[in-house]
A and B are shown apart, each in its own frame.
Chain A
């Protein structure tokens, strides 16, 4: 099992450009999550998907959109990147929609917006 995979690992964007971060899990989990991690701010939830076909906003959803393509894949899109979106982005999955079970994290995508 690969667990949770993310692509790309690193990305540099110019302000206003768009991009999609990809995430896939092979653990047959129902729930998937997107977080960002910033120094001094900790991990903050951007969006989550409790099951295939559903998505909900987290703590910091502005400037992002998500798609739960199928049970395995959950993508995060930046339509018009801003320097404030420079961060490390983590995708996670868990087996229960309410997080009863362990969360498994991907290795992260380090994004810089200039």
Chain B
């Protein structure tokens, strides 16, 4: 079945880059997403990438997709304390489809 896996924790120093990795199993995934969840808050879409793209950049965020290996990564440049959150990798078959989420990676920032 569909599954999305990601590491549970990442700690980075303020100002460094954070790279969160994810793998997924469904080769028919059309949309791959990164959501951010701050404590006590809902899910905020950070960015998404179509499966026919290799890379997408949006300000401090860079998404890389290796479709052959079904590997997705999110790079946050110049990580700030406000970036502390749980980051969910997710995939969907079409824009209206259900979204399958990974377990989330908790990003903590150290001074």
A and B interact: no
B-contacting residues of A (Cβ < 8 Å)? Answer: none
A-contacting residues of B (Cβ < 8 Å)? Answer: none
